[in-house]
Chains A and B, each alone.
Chain A
Amino acid sequence: MILSGFPRFIRCRVSPLSQNLKQPNNYLQTLSHSTHHHGIVSCLSTIPSKPISSSQLQIPLFLREPIYSATVSDLEKWKNWAKTLVYSVGSKFLETDNGPEVNTLYREIQWLLEDVVVEEQRVSTEEKVVKLRTEMDQLYFLWKQRIEKRRPFQYIVGCEHWRDLILCVQEGVLIPRPETAKIVELVQEVVAKDKGLREGLWADLGTGSGALAIAIGKVLGTQGKVIATDLSPIAASVAEFNVKRYDLQDKVEIRQGSWLEPLEDAKGKLAGLVSNPPYIPSDQILGLQAEVGKHEPRLALDGGENGMDDLLHLCEGAASMLKPGGFYAFETNGEKQSKFLVNFMMNHPKSMFQDVRILADFAGIERFVTGFCQ
């Protein structure tokens, strides 16, 4: 179904390491893709890839059927237990690796309940029964994972609220970051001014959950379209799922494959190109915040020795993909990478870029490189 159109073979060395999380009741069918990435240039071996069937998609909590129930006092008991667990952590996570602090975790408890409990009412009768989208045991198990394993909250509930979207995510798919939303704003600005861009063909490379592709799909005109690519089969199928949830199948097409490879037919035709490629230098992966380093896909984070492998690859490709006047925006690791990239673009012998700019994110870090094709 979802992946029927995917190529049987992909040209990269991906080692899918299926590792089902052991859980009571075997409720979640989690597929943890531990993929190791060596930079696109070195990816030459060909490995057959199994299509990901929809059964391997993890249904986020908030979309499950409320077939379980619990009393209000059961929930209160769980909540107190969950808070005690948080309290015991204190500022430990924050101090170790800039991880979540107590207030953030308290809010997550509330949000987890929001996603699981169908009608949580404050009623005087403690014995009132409410409907749940998962079992009580599972709630205990999930929160334990959150605190003890530092499993990201977004994987626990299976979704991330990003901009005005609720995007389903699961292990193997990068959780969209708030910084990246700026790219949508930038696209909004340029398409507002230019009909050709508004009604044109766009590409989101390394789409992950499909966040950028979906958000851009929503700001384009009636003729505008987005093709989103991702090397990871699991990301591609999650993105596909999200596209369907927003009923954008006619506007956003997901193609599985490495960066520009699935876009041969769009060469020189793109009105716009955006990407949030992996940009963290390999040697920094180990020191990452546990939620990121231990759980999110390395494929989406590790940008090679200086973090620039994929960014440079994309810059080189962008010139041939964009049509004249086409717009591009890349997210980078910060000032150093952005400056390097601008320098690379301007001084490249075949440079075709103009109006190249560096833009800061909301924290003031020079995060984005944008420009137009001549």
Chain B
Amino acid sequence: MGSHLLKNPKIKRTLFTSTFRSSISKSIHQIPHLTNHNSSDSRASTSSLGTSQNTRNPRWIHQNYLVSSLKIRSFSSQVVTDELQTTDGLTVDQITASQWPILDETEGDWRSHASAVAQSIQLIKKRLQWKKLVMRLQMLTIELNKPDLWDDPVHAGKISREHGSLMGKMKEVNGFERELLEHIDMVKLAKEENDGELELESLKALFKMRRSAKEKELKAMLAGAHDPCSCFIEVQPGAGGTESMDWASMVMNMYKSWGQRRGYGVTVVDEMAGEVAGIKRATIKVDGEYAFGYAKAEVGTHRLVRISPFDSGKRRHTSFAAVAVTPILGDVSAQVQINESDLRIERFRSGGAGGQHANTTDSAVRIVHIPTGVTATCQNERSQHQNKAMAMAVLQSRLDQLEMVRQAQMNAQHTQSLTDNSWGNQIRSYVLHPYRMVKDLRTNYEVSDPDSVLDGDLDDFILSYLSASMDKDEDDVC
């Protein structure tokens, strides 16, 4: 499988990015074994798993300097399982272990930049559950190479999609890591050579990497299979009548603003107003990349403490609202199959004679999935047809979520994190009186400006929760 570590740490595998190609001519004479120019390199483009074998071949090293970026890409499309290192054998782990001081970004020390990037790479790998990812990828590769794979095209499609997506992640991280080590090599080389221009260039490149590393860390947090999906957010008031219904509508508005701030498409799917104020229930659709990945951090019960505007006695009230988030799976083959005969479809009727007698724009549709009792209602679309389609989409999403929970429960490892996330758990407290504060009970993250939070400024809460929940599994270091 080519997963053994390299015996000879002195062997170097580097990749020149375009920034450096200009300097290659200058430094190329430094590279050892640079003799055999004319052999054609067939290995660089083969796609076997034995990549590490290639890397032991000196000829490969030399080719690696000369091949076009196209070929380099084909190299990186293979599963790389051994440790990447610099010419003098430095690895990312060693860089972080050596604890080079990480200075402010503006300080131009290459060790500081390199160390910061190395730390990010470690974090990213941890978030991606690197070991598991590598193992899964190897399994998928074996599966993909089976000759009878395409006898079942649905299964094959699934396998190849997952393979593609994991491969993409692996390529990206490996590429990033390789880039870091190369820049370190180049810095050292430049220092030896007293090449000020090259040193400055490398330093700039490291600085740039440090910047983009933060983004990559964030992206790695949303590595769940369904994280890139759009989603539905549903809010329901807890007990307590008007008080809670008003709070539920405040929570709903918070998510509407949050979605709009992030540039997502936000549409109200279902909304039932309370008699006096607020909502009895509401569902919105949040359209856009990673909507589910972020919003899933909001699942749970949200608690409000305030002087009630509905209480003439001006007493302090505590209200609750529950939030549920379900993904809209883009991949139809991943969706739960719904049997038409299991559905009861109820449509709004104006009462009376109907037909030509009635003209109403109300075309609400409610669908009940009889076996599970799951229901979905939609009345905000403009035709019954569309309301039915939207209610079906909501139902599909809810059933998919149920199925995901069921599968995760079968997998004991996940049980813990899921109970953390379940509907009934109180996750955040919003206090408007006697002091002002919003505090996340899972992360203890808090701010003293409830108004901005209620106006949709939620990202800090979401990110702190996501990073806390991702990074706490200490046993799963890359």
B359 and A154 contacting across the interface, CB-CB below 8 Å: yes
Minimum Cβ distance to chain B for residue A17 (Å): 21
Selected contact of B359 from candidates A122, A164, A291, A331, CB within 8 Å: A291
Question: How far is B360's CA from A366's CA once the two chains are assembled, in angstroms?
Answer: 20
A104 and B260 contacting across the interface, CB-CB below 8 Å: no
The 10 closest A-B pairs by CB, nearest first: A161-B382, A363-B349, A161-B383, A163-B385, A362-B347, A178-B384, A291-B359, A104-B362, A122-B260, A292-B359
Minimum Cβ distance to chain A for residue B264 (Å): 12
Q: Residue on A with the closest CB to B361?
A: A153
Contacts of B357 in A (CB 8 A): 280, 284, 288-289, 292
Contacts of B355 in A (CB 8 A): 177, 179-180, 279, 331, 333-334, 361, 365, 367
Q: Residue on B with the closest CB to A278?
A: B356
A296 and B260 contacting across the interface, CB-CB below 8 Å: no
Contacts of A163 in B (CB 8 A): 383-385
Q: Given that A153-B361, A163-B385, A362-B349 are contacting pairs, would A177 and B356 also be in contact in the complex, using a CB cutoff of 8 Å?
A: yes
Is B358's beta carbon under 8 Å from chain A? yes
Is B380's beta carbon under 8 Å from chain A? yes
Is A175's beta carbon under 8 Å from chain B? yes
Q: Residue on A with the closest CB to B362?
A: A104
Is A31's beta carbon under 8 Å from chain B? no
Q: Residue on A with the closest CB to B345?
A: A362
Interface residues of B in 144-163 (CB under 8 A from A): none
Q: Given that A107-B361, A153-B361, A178-B363 are contacting pairs, would A301 and B385 also be in contact in the complex, using a CB cutoff of 8 Å?
A: no
B359 and A161 contacting across the interface, CB-CB below 8 Å: no
A181 and B384 contacting across the interface, CB-CB below 8 Å: yes
Question: How far is B470's CA from A55's CA once the two chains are assembled, in angstroms?
Answer: 64
Contacts of B381 in A (CB 8 A): 161
Interface residues of A in 73-104 (CB under 8 A from B): 98, 100-101, 103-104
Is B373's beta carbon under 8 Å from chain A? no
Interface residues of A in 155-191 (CB under 8 A from B): 160-164, 174-175, 177-181
Contacts of B361 in A (CB 8 A): 100, 104, 107-108, 111, 153-154
A289 and B358 contacting across the interface, CB-CB below 8 Å: yes
Contacts of A25 in B (CB 8 A): none
Chain A: number of interface residues, binned into ranges: 35 or more
Minimum Cβ distance to chain B for residue A242 (Å): 15
Is B350's beta carbon under 8 Å from chain A? yes
Is A152's beta carbon under 8 Å from chain B? yes
Residue among B260, B352, B359, B361 facing the most chain A CB atoms (10 A cut-off): B359
Q: A interface vs B, CB < 8 Å?
A: 98, 100-101, 103-104, 107-108, 110-111, 121-122, 152-154, 160-164, 174-175, 177-181, 276, 278-280, 284, 288-289, 291-292, 296, 300-301, 331, 333-334, 361-363, 365, 367
Contacts of A122 in B (CB 8 A): 256-257, 260
Residue among B350, B360, B362 facing the most chain A CB atoms (10 A cut-off): B360
Q: Residue on A with the closest CB to B363?
A: A178
Minimum Cβ distance to chain A for residue B238 (Å): 23
B349 and A98 contacting across the interface, CB-CB below 8 Å: no
List 22 contacting pairs A-B, 8 Å CB cutoff, sorted by A: A104-B360, A107-B362, A107-B380, A121-B260, A161-B381, A161-B383, A163-B385, A175-B359, A177-B355, A178-B347, A178-B384, A292-B356, A292-B357, A292-B358, A300-B356, A331-B355, A333-B353, A334-B354, A362-B345, A362-B349, A363-B349, A365-B353
Contacts of A334 in B (CB 8 A): 353-355
Q: Given that A98-B351, A292-B356 are contacting pairs, would A111 and B382 also be in contact in the complex, using a CB cutoff of 8 Å?
A: yes
Q: Given that A100-B362, A104-B361, A289-B359 are contacting pairs, would A178 and B383 also be in contact in the complex, using a CB cutoff of 8 Å?
A: yes
Interface residues of B in 333-384 (CB under 8 A from A): 345, 347, 349-363, 379-384
Minimum Cβ distance to chain B for residue A318 (Å): 20
Known: A289-B358, A334-B355. 7 other contacts (CB 8 A): A100-B362, A121-B260, A162-B383, A163-B385, A179-B354, A288-B357, A367-B354
Q: Residue on A with the closest CB to B266?
A: A122
Minimum Cβ distance to chain B for residue A169 (Å): 11
